[in-house]
Homo-oligomer: A and B are copies of this chain.
């Protein structure tokens, strides 16, 4: 029954379908093992965010990447 939302920047064309599945399975298993939550009703939503729309340290990730951060 848990709900999980993962927000990451969209870089190099975005996540592959396999990477998304790895995240979905990984989080679902973590909740089952840690809290005994039912995997069948665990929901995971992945949001891929444009690098200009994601700020950290008062900078856009797009600019941080250019600066090698």
Residues of A within 8 A of B (CB): 1-9, 15, 17, 19-31, 34-35, 37, 39-49, 52-62
Contact = CB atoms under 8 A, between A and B. Distances in A.
Given A30-B30, A53-B47, A55-B43, A60 B21 contact: yes
Copies of this chain present? 6
20 contacts: A1-B43, A2-B7, A2-B8, A4-B4, A4-B6, A8-B31, A8-B37, A19-B35, A20-B55, A23-B30, A23-B34, A23-B35, A23-B55, A25-B58, A26-B34, A27-B27, A42-B57, A43-B56, A45-B49, A46-B55
Given A5-B5, A19-B35, A45-B54, 14 more contacts: A3-B6, A21-B59, A21-B60, A22-B30, A23-B30, A26-B26, A26-B30, A27-B27, A27-B55, A28-B55, A29-B58, A39-B58, A43-B56, A46-B55
